[in-house]
Amino acid sequence: MRNGQDSKPLPEDNLLKILESLAKLCAILAGVLMTIITLLTCASIVGRELVDKTVPGDFELVGLATGTAVAFFMPLCQICRGNIVVDFFTAKAPRKVNAVLDRLGATPVGMPLPQIPDALSKGTINGCVIPWEVVPSVKVNELTKFHAEFDPAGDSLYTTTFVMAMNKAKYNSLAPDLKKVIDNNSGMATSAWLGKVQQGNDVPGRKSASDRGNIIYTVNASEAQEFRRKSRTVEMEWVEDMNKKGFDGKKLLAMARSLIEKHTKTTRA
């Protein structure tokens, strides 16, 4: 997302608070129903033992009330992310990417990249989020007919980072000439080179899909804006998480946006 976007509450934020309040109200009603179910069951048991009578229709009433209580508990369970989700497709993806996919209505699951072809062919997953450069290596261009990409002139779905690090003690144990070799092939220049090499491989990766006649849909600016609006809650949660850890979450987010915009301009130039 671009630097300069303000942090004013969006209509979706207010709607989320309203939904949370309704979900909590439903949960309270479900609790009341469970209490009634318990009392009704106890009354039937006691009546059966003492006077050989039960509450008329107790079995049906308990079944109906139990089903209703479960339904009333579900909204709060969903908001609290309490539902069981199969973790089988995006285990290697950034945690916040999974959160965004969840907000967009997908079920993010994780798996190592080499397992994607088998999962697609068996129907274990319906799609995958990967860069164009790796599409040919896992045969996604052969296993799928439809692809979606964000307009290159705008923002992408997400931004991730790669870190190439060396053990400090091992580096210090090297001879000066070897340290010089590493130093001369490290830093911003090397990072930029690696990034451009990776980005350059997107072109043949995309071509592998278009050459097969696959349909490639480009997410336009208005649709991309909708993605950003729906993922806004993920940003808010991240800022709150950073604040709890003693950092200035809002400042870090603004800095990240600024760096993304700066280096995106450099890359396109």
Residues contacting 240, CB < 8 A, separation 6+: 249
Q: Which class for 29: exposed (0-12), middle (13-18), buried (19 or more C-beta within 10 A)?
A: middle
Note whether 18 and 130 are same-domain residues.
no
- What does pTM read for this prediction? 0.52
Q: How confident is the model at residue 57, as a pLDDT?
A: 79
Q: Which residues of the chain have pLDDT under 70?
A: 1-13, 81-108, 265-269
Q: How confident is the model at residue 87, as a pLDDT?
A: 40
Q: Are 156 and 199 in contact (CB under 8 A)?
A: no
- Alpha carbon distance, N-terminus to C-terminus of the chain: 19
Q: How confident is the model at residue 254, as a pLDDT?
A: 92
Element (H, E) at 169: helix 168-172
Note whether 126 and 247 are same-domain residues.
yes
The alpha carbon dihedral of 80, 96, 258, 204 has a sign of negative
Q: 75: closest CA among 108, 38, 28?
A: 28
- Dist CA 103 CA 92 (whole Å): 19
Note whether 155 and 240 are same-domain residues.
yes
Q: How confident is the model at residue 108, as a pLDDT?
A: 67
Q: How confident is the model at residue 11, as a pLDDT?
A: 57
- Which one-letter amino acid corresponds to residue 52? D
Could you tell me if residue 171 is inside a domain? yes
Residue 230, token pair as written in the block: 């729906």
- Which one-letter amino acid corresponds to residue 8? K
Note whether 22 and 102 are same-domain residues.
no
User: Beta partners for 198?
Assistant: none
Look at residue 185 and give its three-state secondary structure. coil
Could you tell me if residue 86 is inside a domain? no
Note whether 69 and 132 are same-domain residues.
no
Q: How confident is the model at residue 155, as a pLDDT?
A: 73
**Domain that residue 71 falls in:** 11-79
Q: How confident is the model at residue 12, as a pLDDT?
A: 56
Could you tell me if residue 253 is inside a domain? yes
User: Per residue in 225-263, pLDDT tens?
Assistant: 887 787 787 888 889 999 999 999 999 999 988 888 887
Considering 79, 109, 139, which residue would you say is the last residue of a domain? Answer: 79
